[in-house]
Amino acid sequence: MALTKCLAIHQLPSEELTLYLLIILIGLFFSTAGMAQSPDRSPAQETSPDSPPSVRRIGLPDTPFRYDHLDVPVRWVDVLSRLDNTPPDNPITDHGATLGRVLFYDTTLSANATTSCASCHLQKYGFSEPRSTSVGFRGEKVTRNSMSLVNLRFHSRGRFFWDERAATLEQQVLMPIENPVEMGHQLGPLVKQLSADPIYPPLFENAFGDRQITENRIARALAQFVRSIVSFGSRYDEGLRQVSSPLDPFPNFTEQENLGKEQFFGRARCAECHLPDHDSKSMNQWLVFQLKEPGNNGIDMDTPKSDPGVASHSGRAQDRGKFKPSTLRNIGLTSPYMHDGRFVTLDQVIEHYNWSIRPHENLDPRLAEFSANGMALPEVPKVALAAFLETLTDESLATDPKYADPFVGR
C-alpha cells in the first residue's frame, strides 16, 4: 500500500507534487503543535515562587508527630535543660514544628523555587551534606560546608553559623533565605507568597491560633523544627545508659571501641575541646559533644583573607581563623569535615591532629603543645579512636519520618 502510494506521487506533475508536499508539511506542523500543547507532553516549566503550583501536596499525619518530647533518661533531663537555648517566647510545639518542617523542605522559599533549607541540610547525612561547600539557588558555590543541624538546641552559647554571626536560632533560620547566593529571596514578598499558597494558612492557624503569616512566625516555626532535631539514640548513648560511670567500659562496645573511648577521654585529649564543662563532674561532658566557644584548630598557618572566620563578624584580630565547632554526634554521616569540607574521612581528621597542627597566631592553647610534633598516637589507638567516633552516629535519625520531606511525590 505504502509503495503503491509512493509510486503514484512520483507520477504527479511537478506543480501538483509541490502542492501535495506543501499540504503534508502544513498538516505535520499543526499536528506537532497540538502534541506540544497536549497535557501528556507539556514542557517542563520553571516554577515561580510568586504563584505556588496548585498540584503541590503535603502528607502529614492526622495527629502531629511529637516534637516537644525529649526521649532521654530522667537523669539526663536536668543536664540538657541547662544547655537548652530555647527562648521562653518560642517553645517547641507539635504544630509549630510541623509547620517548620514544611517550610524547611519547601523550595519556593528560594527566589527561583529550586532550593530549600533541606537542599543543603539532608536528613540522611545528619542534616549536613556530602559536598565540601554548598551550592546556592543559581548554582553558585557558597564558601563554607553545611554544618550539621543536629542538637543545635543544646548549643548553650546560642550563636550560630561557622562565624557565629547569628545571635539566636530565630535569626539564623531567616538569613539563608535572603542570602543572595544561597536562596536569594526577600522576606516581604515571601510572606505574600505563602499567604496566597493554600498549603500554609491552615498550618499557621494550627501553630499560632490564626492564619496571619509574618516574618516572625516563619522564623519561629523554622527554629522550632530545627530545635526538635535531636539525637540521643546512638550506640554510645545505649552504652552510657548501662554504666554507673562513663569511664567504665561500655558493655555494648567492642574491645576496640572501648579502647577508642579511652583515647578520646584520655591520651588524645579530644574531650578537652569537644565537651563542655570538661573539667567539671557534670554529665554535660558526656552528652553534648560540642565546644562552647569558637576556636582555631591549626588547619592553616595563616588566616585566608577570603574567610577570616569569626573575625568577619566581630572585627577582632583575636578572632581571625576561629570558627564555631560542629557537634561530633552523627559524625559518621556528616562527611566532609571542617568549615571548608577539606577532610573527607575521619582518618584524615585524626591525622591532622596527630601530625599536622599548624602554629596559627590564634591557635587554641590546648593544641599549642602539639603544633611541633602532634599527638603522635600509635596506629592501634588511632584506629580505635576512629571506631569510637563512629559509635556517636544515630542511624535512626537518618530515617525518622517526623524529620522527613512532607511533600508528596518528590
Hey, CA dihedral for 239, 240, 244, 246, is it positive or negative?
A: positive
274 and 199 in one domain? Answer: no
288 and 384 in one domain? Answer: yes
* Chain centre distance of CA 251: 32
Which whole-number Å values give the CA distances from 179 to 97, 186, 187, 202, 367, in the listed order? 23, 9, 11, 28, 35
Q: Is residue 256 part of a domain?
A: yes
Q: Is residue 15 part of a domain?
A: no
Look up the pTM and report it.
Answer: 0.85
Q: Is residue 359 part of a domain?
A: yes
Tens-place pLDDT, residues 268-316: 989 888 886 655 555 656 888 887 789 999 999 999 888 999 999 999 9
Closest by CA to 111, choosing from 167, 164, 190, 36, is 190
Q: Is residue 43 part of a domain?
A: no
224 and 134 in one domain? Answer: yes
The helix or strand, by DSSP H or E, that contains position 261, with its residue range, turns out to be: helix 255-265
121 and 183 in one domain? Answer: yes
CATH number for 123: 1.10.760.10
330 and 211 in one domain? Answer: no
Q: How many domains does the chain have?
A: 2
241 and 372 in one domain? Answer: yes
Q: CB atoms < 10 A from the CB of 377, how many?
A: 19
Q: CB atoms < 10 A from the CB of 141, how many?
A: 12
197 and 136 in one domain? Answer: yes
Q: Is residue 177 part of a domain?
A: yes
- Angle of CA points 101, 123, 143, to nearest 5°: 100
pLDDT tens sequence for the chain (410 residues): 443 444 344 444 444 444 444 444 444 444 434 433 333 323 333 344 454 445 799 999 999 999 999 999 988 998 899 889 999 999 999 999 999 999 999 999 999 999 999 999 999 999 999 999 999 999 999 999 999 999 999 998 889 999 999 999 999 999 999 999 999 999 999 999 999 999 999 999 999 999 999 999 999 999 999 999 999 999 999 999 999 888 899 999 999 999 999 999 899 989 888 886 655 555 656 888 887 789 999 999 999 888 999 999 999 999 999 999 899 999 999 999 999 999 999 999 999 999 989 999 999 998 988 877 778 899 999 999 999 999 999 999 999 999 999 999 87
Domain span at 290: 235-395
